[in-house]
Amino acid sequence: MPGIAVFLTGNLEGVPPALLYQLAHNKVLHDKVLFLTIITENEPRVWLRKQVEIKDLGQNFFRVIARHGFMEPLNMNQIFRRLKSQGLELDMKETSFFLARENVVPVKELGLPLWRAKIFDFLTRNAMPLTSYLEIPYDRVIELGVFVKV
């Protein structure tokens, strides 16, 4: 499929769940696929040369780690500029951003007290969406719902 797919993930290894769901349901891959992990460091600023790490996984798959300090604002345009400076040029208008939205399902047998599961669910639903924080255009975002048993 033409274009670029960015799968936002907190994991530095493996395949993001959103990609697995995308393949299972739509059975398509974009021309270029990025697994993007954003890490906020425990320092106010991150050196320019450490802000973006690109690993070419082959077949137009890339693992990208974007680091920033806790005092530094961050948005997707900045990440794209940093990637361009390292030789990976992306066009926001050709990019789709995929997220796996986790929905909590309390299961008594798993041992987590129901009140804790409800608090976790409440906090998850009321957290600021990553897409807003990163200023990703809403018309470029695709969210895939995932049910997580706790």
pTM: 0.82
Return the minimum-mean-pLDDT range out of 5-14, 102-111, 113-122: 102-111
Task: Show the CA angle centred on residue 120, arms to residues 19 and 17, nearest 5°.
Answer: 5
User: How far, in Å, CA of 130 to CA of 136, rounded?
Assistant: 9
* Mean pLDDT computed over every residue of the chain: 87
Mean pLDDT throughout 34-63? 94
Segment 40-59 mean pLDDT: 93
pLDDT in tens, 3-13: 999 999 988 99
